[in-house]
Amino acid sequence: MCGIVGYIGPEEALPVLMNGLKRLEYRGYDSAGVATIDGGLTIGKKVGKVTELEKLIAANPPGGTIGIGHTRWATHGEPNDINAHPHTDQFGEIALIHNGIIENYATIKKTLESDGYTFRTQTDTEVLVQLIRAFYDKGNSLERAFRLALKSVVGTYGVAMISTIEPDRIYAARNGSPLAIGIGDGEYILASDASAIVQHTRHVTYLTDGEMAILERDKYTTKTIDDIPVTKEIEEITFDIGELEKGGYEHFMLKEIFEQPDTIRNAMRGRLQRDESTVRLGGLRTVTEKLRDARRIIIVACGTSWHSALVGEYMFEQLAGIPTEVEYASEFRYRDPVIFKDDLVIAISQSGETADTLAALREAKRRGATAIGIVNVVGSTIARETEAGVYAHAGPEIGVASTKAFTSQLMVLALMTVKLARMRRMGAAEGAQILKAFEELPAKIEETLAHAEQVRAIAHTYAGARNFLYLGRGYNFPVALEGALKLKEISYIHAEGYPAAEMKHGPIALIDENMPVVFVAPDDDIYEKVISNIQEVRARSGRVIAIATEGDERIESLAEHVIYVPRTLPFLAPILNVLPLQLLSYYIAVERGCNVDQPRNLAKSVTVE
């Protein structure tokens, strides 16, 4: 959460900062601000979107070739002009931006106040910048003051600092919140992620926890906050700037929904080993024996990734015969989980930076389990801290509500399932059949997305509903959960996902003529059970929207609306069945005038607990 950008080089800093903030706005959009040095320190900040900041500074844009910028997702202090970043020390010589939470800020603030330091905001970030000032006032160099302050705080941070005391330096550090350094031609760009860097350079290095960087005009230095030099590997950004544009679509979310034929192809590319009817996953090469001998799989994830994990649980158990548990990462670390050394713990995260998932992963590693990651962002923390892993290759996902990353996660889980199953109990003939089904998926996704106008019409009918119920069974129960989550996230309509059979144990009391009920009802081995559940809803005047398999004419007499998807193998059906639900939530949100890409109170990458 929160977006950080910094620039030092020969060009005017402000255009680079503003462009970077726009790229990073999906990380938080409660307020935005910039600080530059051009003789003195100039601060501009404003509550609201980056466009509001643009209006504020348009008449008198701050100059200078060094600066920092921030777009905020509020944790401490309500979103307003005062609490917006950057924050300064009481003398106006140091400016700081911060992503994360300083847990011991109240104690530090009380001490600083007793020493005569005054505070203007409600934020933990102002406490940090004043603490740096306090250490500087005690005779330390600015660098040492920066390091001492960071060693004194408890919590997570990604920070960047500039000061008129040293007007040609940017200080940066991370502990739990990502920071990348773009290395350009005589310039450096600091950012929360590579989307703000790629326009300027493809060469990037990533700070890890406990590290800091000093960016100067002719060099950069990396070290630990204990002042131990660190040599960093320079990596190359793999995506193109065009992937960060809307490409003619009204919203990023809609673009990303329609990118899914390609993202599923990308997830499979180079991984199907047809001659042996199995899957090649190079990122798992070092743990092959552990995969084969694993007694149990534990998957830790949050939000949409947790839903993909639930589908993965069905896959691993039914096809590979491996007992699998799915855990909310946010709960996993705070109990005393029983973990064995022959367990596989898989962490799933689109960003690879999700704080709870990373903490759960570290706990599993501490207890001796084999740690595997499924992430989308190359170079992310989870990717670096796992023993092995698989990239989803979905490309940048800008829409806050995840769509293409979800289906790419499902595809990776399916690939892993086949690899494990072929190592354990699946025959070559069945493996070949599954690989054929994999290859057919992108075309079937295109066929499903061709029903978009039908979904738009259904959305128009139900955009005024106050509640939705989503029901599914087996592999499609998690699809119901995901459909409900998408609707809540972007349209602000209350929605619940349930196993269809559990409807009778409470939710059925809510059903009346005003309740739309979405059934995920493919023609599989529990189809008749779902049909019975539909009948129960119809008997209570509920309005049924069904996601059904092509050729199923029977369901048309039971549902007011039927959206057909092509037939595929049952464990791959969630990839197709979720597509109409993504479109339904999108079109309902548009009908209601909601900000689809930046829904209220949410941010893309949750890097705080």
- Give the pair of three-digit tokens for residue 463: 């955009």
- Helices (H) and strands (E) in the chain — how many of each? 18, 26
Tally the C-alpha atoms within 13 A of residue 232's C-alpha that lie toward its C-beta: 24
Nearest-angstrom CA–CA distance, 192 and 99 = 9
Nearest-angstrom CA–CA distance, 160 and 17 = 13
What φ, ψ does residue 318 adopt, rounded to 5°? -80, -35
Tell me, what amino acid is at 107?
T
- Give the pair of three-digit tokens for residue 313: 């649980």
Strand partners, 223: 212, 229
Nearest-angstrom CA–CA distance, 460 and 427 = 48
Query: Smallest Cα–Cα separation from 221: which of 208, 230, 209?
Result: 230
- Give the pair of three-digit tokens for residue 182: 């773009």
**Chain-centre distance of CA 78, in angstroms?**
23
- Give the pair of three-digit tokens for residue 55: 């209006």
Q: Is 536 left (phi over 0), alpha (psi -120 to 50) or beta?
A: alpha
Are the beta carbons of 475 and 503 closer than 8 angstroms? no
Nearest-angstrom CA–CA distance, 441 and 508 = 35
Nearest-angstrom CA–CA distance, 321 and 326 = 15
Q: What is the CA radius of gyration of the chain?
A: 25
Cα 563 to Cα 87, 210, 278, 470, 574: the distances in Å are: 52, 51, 33, 14, 14
Cα 221 to Cα 8, 168, 228, 229, 496: the distances in Å are: 14, 14, 11, 8, 50
Helical (H) or strand (E) element with 105? helix 105-114
Task: Identify whether 594 is a catalytic site residue.
Answer: no
E strands present in 251-394: 272-273, 278-279, 296-301, 324-328, 343-349, 370-375, 388-391
What count of residues does the chain have?
Answer: 609
Tell me, what amino acid is at 43?
I
Strand partners, 562: 546
Nearest-angstrom CA–CA distance, 487 and 291 = 37
Q: Strand, coil or helix: what is 67? A: strand
Helical (H) or strand (E) element with 304? helix 303-315
Nearest-angstrom CA–CA distance, 302 and 280 = 27
**Chain-centre distance of CA 148, in angstroms?**
32
Nearest-angstrom CA–CA distance, 495 and 518 = 10
Task: Identify whether 302 is a catalytic site residue.
Answer: no
Selected catalytic residue, list 2, 223, 302, 594: 2
- List residues with catalytic annotation: 2, 604
